[in-house]
Amino acid sequence: MTGIKDLIGVQYEPYSMKVEKGKIREFAEAIGEDNPIYYDVEAAKKEGFKGIPIPLTFLTAIDFWGGPSFDEKMKKLQLNPVKVLHGEQEYEYMKDIYAGDVLTVKSMVSDVAVKKGSSGGMNLITTENQYTNQNGELVAKSKGVTIERH
């Protein structure tokens, strides 16, 4: 690669993962979420859901469990892993996602910015993910920023 801006358009191989009820429970417990809709299908149905939904930030778990490893990402993006931070994350939901759904994720670097500051420079690499379910429906999008300090 000739420069950091050349990362724009880099894609990862699509990956798929089944949303498991046990993983939803583990995730909810890990973040301290005690709402019964994440643990009990009857509680979820009482609240108007078709099944056990995912917590709002659960897509990060899909990416970590189903997607490329941290080392694979660092190699593909040619980043120094000891200088990398997670900068920000946002989610947009089009449809509910439930236990039993199978999500397929397409991931691409959509932007790169170089910033200078008093403590040095930073590369800001924005990655966008699209999540489709087993019916081919786009159910969510996410955008994350990886920071590489110079």
pLDDT in tens, 8-36: 999 999 999 999 999 999 999 999 999 99
- Domain ranges for the chain, please list them: 4-149
Residue 119 — pLDDT band, cuts 50, 70, 90? confident
Specify whether the CB–CB gap between 140 and 97 falls below 8 A. yes
The reply to whether CATH 3.10.129.10 applies to domain 4-149 is yes
- Residues 23-80: tens digit of each pLDDT: 999 999 999 999 999 999 999 999 999 999 999 999 999 998 899 999 999 999 999 9
Question: Angle 147-3-66 (CA atoms, 0-180°, nearest 5)?
Answer: 50
Which pTM value belongs to this model?
A: 0.91
